[in-house]
């Protein structure tokens, strides 16, 4: 028999051993601890273990501020981004340490382009509104070409210190107006000064427009041959020096600033990409519009706006002789996915309404006018083609959305994703013609990001995510979305019931093309609608099926987030500019 002392000692030893076993075992990972679970445990919810913080003990830590955003204006809805030169990287999270924040290229510098506008005192409201429409068209066209358009008036001219030299002078009305333009420009500083009838009429990558976006020679003021006073480019100090020289030479017969400024101030370039719709040009090339301006100034000005818009649209069509490509990988499952992009493409290939049909812009009298019988071609390739001869419309699905479409249901399981789907199939499909089938998702992601955001491809494509598109079969594009697209294209997109939701009637027309799914496009739209609900952010520590889809398709998820953030940032940039200019004519039309 064991003595009582030995029994007590043995009991203590066993108790201590049990405690050591319990406390030395691996704890269940806590989702909030920051340590990722491994294996199957990452998909199983575990109860949270109690901690000292749960005892609600008094806190002796000082209060702290929430960290600011990495950059101002770097979020929009669910999109977050960081603008940085390290954007050409397979995965943004390696730089931002945030899976949901995409690294985008820094915003391109937008050189200022100014115009001077003073309404005629005898104008009525309709005439002022017609001018506002022309100024809006001017803003939109230059903004789409990578510039920052600003409208100046007499207020800026009078702020220039040189205004005191001009004020007592007796000037002819033509010279006074032109001198005020220069004073306003000299007050604002570096940039370009354009007539509000001067429009960029060329591709985004045109040599002249590229040169103007880079900036001009600081020692000289650039002017353009054959367009007289329609456009100048220069820096503030040189502009004001030119004004001083002009003021010295003013006499009672002077009518032009160019004649008064010494020639050594100027550098002369060819205006290949500039279309000027002045009275001489309109009378010479578009007599019907000229007659209308004389008989009814308001109607004539509105006709001029329509004519300019038609020329801008036709210039876009001429810029892409191979037509518009609406990307459609996996055509047996993606009819609904690409339908909004196809609607946009059909609007872009329409012949624009014009008061002078089959006419060409003043700077390109031998263009190819839009032909209703032979419209611009629309194709639906499965892969992206890196060519400047075709304009690409690309719609990216979230990996979960694509998986759901491919199996005709959103009832997707982890087993199905891991056992029955390949990784990054969308990216592999759209780049296989360019990159082949051997490389993995990371290098494909880098190449694709370049295709979206590199300087060389600006103006040759429009990329968007399917989750931002209309959710119903046959539904037209939202008016707000079309409004935004117009600032990228630089002209008004033709709108009817098949394109603009604001104009569509009760009957909705589907534009499904070849290879619809066996279930029909309505079924695909239903899946898209359900997938959106799955993708909405939810407050939960559980790993959902959309997280599994993202983890299995890292490269597809990366480019989807990249495109979503790139599109959102462009909207934020334009709205910020519009907010800065909200008090000036031409931002929005008067009611």
The CATH number that applies at residue 187 is: 3.90.550
The answer to whether residue 508 scores a pLDDT higher than 80 is no
402 in the same domain as 340: yes
H/E stretch holding 358:
none
Cα–Cα distance for residue pair 125/589, rounded to 1 Å: 12
Answer yes or no: is 426 within a domain.
yes
284 in the same domain as 345: no
Cα–Cα distance for residue pair 258/225, rounded to 1 Å: 12
8 vs 98 pLDDT, higher one: 98
412 in the same domain as 280: no
279 in the same domain as 345: no
For residue 540, what pLDDT is reported? 67
Answer yes or no: is 441 within a domain.
yes
428 vs 589 pLDDT, higher one: 428
| DSSP assignment letter at 509 | -
Answer yes or no: is 1 within a domain.
no
Q: In this structure, are residues 470 and 498 in contact, taking their beta carbons and an 8 Å threshold?
A: no
For residue 95, what pLDDT is reported? 92
Helix (H, G, I), strand (E, B) or coil at 364: coil
Q: In this structure, are residues 89 and 101 in contact, taking their beta carbons and an 8 Å threshold?
A: no
252 in the same domain as 138: yes
Q: For 430-482, how does the pLDDT look when each residue is reduced to its tens digit (9 = 90+)?
A: 999 989 988 999 999 999 999 999 999 999 999 999 887 766 766 678 888 89
| DSSP assignment letter at 221 | E
State the residue for tokens 């892409």.
320
Cα–Cα distance for residue pair 466/564, rounded to 1 Å: 10
Answer yes or no: is 21 within a domain.
no
Q: Which two tokens stand for residue 76?
A: 């929009």
Cα–Cα distance for residue pair 100/93, rounded to 1 Å: 8
Q: In this structure, are residues 442 and 91 in contact, taking their beta carbons and an 8 Å threshold?
A: yes
Lowest mean per-residue pLDDT among 136-140, 182-186, 341-345, 513-517: 513-517
454 in the same domain as 394: yes
327 in the same domain as 284: no
Answer yes or no: is 51 within a domain.
no
For residue 496, what pLDDT is reported? 78
Distances (CA, A) of 432 to 69, 127, 381, 429: 37, 55, 12, 5
Q: In this structure, are residues 512 and 521 in contact, taking their beta carbons and an 8 Å threshold?
A: yes
The total number of structural domains in the chain stands at 2
Lowest mean per-residue pLDDT among 180-184, 251-255, 565-569: 251-255
195 in the same domain as 277: yes
271 in the same domain as 347: no
User: Where in the sequence is the domain holding 329, given as residue range(s)?
Assistant: 322-353+360-580
Answer yes or no: is 590 within a domain.
no
For residue 465, what pLDDT is reported? 93
- Give 154's contacts (C-beta < 8 A, 6+ positions apart): 118, 180, 184
As a whole number, mean pLDDT of residues 497-505 equals: 62
Please tell me the chain's helix, strand, coil percentages from 3-state DSSP, rounded to the nearest 5: 45, 10, 45
505 in the same domain as 414: yes
Instruction: Identify the domain boundary among 237, 266, 289.
Output: 289
Answer yes or no: is 27 within a domain.
no
Q: For 107-152, how does the pLDDT look when each residue is reduced to its tens digit (9 = 90+)?
A: 999 999 999 998 888 788 898 999 999 999 999 999 999 999 999 9
For residue 474, what pLDDT is reported? 67
Burial class (CB in 10 A: 0-12, 13-18, 19+), 43: middle
396 in the same domain as 279: no
233 in the same domain as 177: yes
């Amino acid at each position: 028999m064991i003595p009582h002392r030995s029994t007590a000692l043995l009991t203590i030893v066993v108790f201590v051993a049990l405690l050591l076993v319990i406390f030395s075992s691996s704890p269940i990972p806590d989702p909030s601890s920051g340590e990722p679970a491994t294996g199957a445990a990452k998909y199983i919810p575990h109860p949270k273990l109690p901690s000292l913080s749960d005892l609600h003990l008094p806190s002796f830590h000082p209060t702290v501020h929430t960290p600011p955003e990495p950059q101002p204006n770097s979020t929009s809805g669910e999109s977050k981004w960081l603008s940085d030169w390290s954007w050409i990287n397979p995965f943004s999270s390696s730089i931002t340490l945030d899976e949901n924040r995409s690294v985008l290229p820094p915003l391109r510098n937008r050189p200022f382009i100014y115009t001077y506008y003073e309404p005629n005192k005898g104008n009525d409201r309709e005439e002022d509104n017609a001018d506002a429409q022309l100024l809006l068209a001017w803003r939109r066209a230059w903004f789409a070409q990578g510039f920052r358009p600003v409208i100046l008036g007499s207020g800026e001219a009078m702020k220039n210190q040189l205004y005191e030299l001009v004020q007592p002078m007796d000037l002819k009305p033509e010279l006074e107006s032109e001198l005020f333009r220069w004073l306003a420009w000299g007050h604002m500083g570096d940039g370009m000064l354009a007539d509000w009838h001067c429009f960029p009429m060329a591709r985004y990558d045109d040599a002249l427009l590229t040169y103007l976006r880079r900036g001009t020679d600081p020692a000289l003021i650039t002017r353009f041959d054959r367009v007289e006073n329609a456009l100048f480019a220069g820096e503030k100090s040189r502009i004001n020096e030119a004004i001083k020289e002009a003021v010295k030479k003013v006499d009672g017969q002077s009518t032009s600033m160019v004649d008064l400024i010494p020639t050594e101030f100027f550098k002369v370039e060819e205006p290949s990409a500039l279309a000027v719709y002045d009275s001489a040009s309109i009378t010479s090339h578009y007599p019907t519009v000229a007659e209308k301006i004389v008989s009814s100034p308001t109607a004539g000005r509105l006709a001029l706006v329509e004519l300019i818009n038609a020329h801008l649209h036709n210039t876009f069509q001429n810029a892409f002789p191979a037509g518009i490509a609406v990307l459609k990988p996996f055509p047996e499952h993606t009819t609904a996915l690409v339908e909004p992009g196809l609607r946009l493409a059909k609007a872009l290939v329409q012949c624009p309404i014009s008061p002078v049909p089959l006419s060409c812009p003043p700077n390109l009298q031998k263009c190819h006018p839009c032909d209703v019988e032979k419209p611009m071609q629309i194709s639906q390739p499965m892969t992206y083609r890196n060519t400047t001869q075709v304009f690409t419309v690309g719609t990216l699905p979230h990996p979960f959305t694509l998986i759901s479409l491919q199996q005709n249901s959103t009832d997707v399981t982890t087993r199905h994703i891991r056992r029955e789907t390949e990784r990054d199939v969308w990216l592999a499909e759209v780049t296989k013609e360019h990159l082949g089938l051997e490389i993995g998702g990371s290098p494909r992601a880098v190449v694709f990001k370049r295709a979206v955001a590199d300087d060389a491809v600006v103006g040759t494509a429009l990329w968007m995510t399917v989750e931002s598109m209309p959710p119903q079969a046959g539904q037209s594009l939202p008016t707000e979305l079309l409004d935004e697209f117009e600032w990228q294209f630089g002209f008004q997109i033709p709108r009817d019931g098949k394109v603009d939701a604001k104009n569509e009637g009760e009957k909705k027309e589907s534009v499904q093309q070849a290879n619809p799914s066996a279930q029909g496009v309505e079924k695909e739209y239903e899946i898209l609608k359900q997938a959106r609900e799955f993708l909405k952010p939810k407050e939960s520590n559980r790993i959902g099926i959309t997280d599994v889809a993202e983890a299995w398709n890292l490269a597809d998820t990366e480019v989807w987030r990249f495109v979503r953030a790139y599109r959102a940032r462009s909207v934020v940039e334009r709205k910020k500019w519009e907010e800065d200019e909200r008090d000036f004519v031409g931002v929005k039309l008067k009611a």
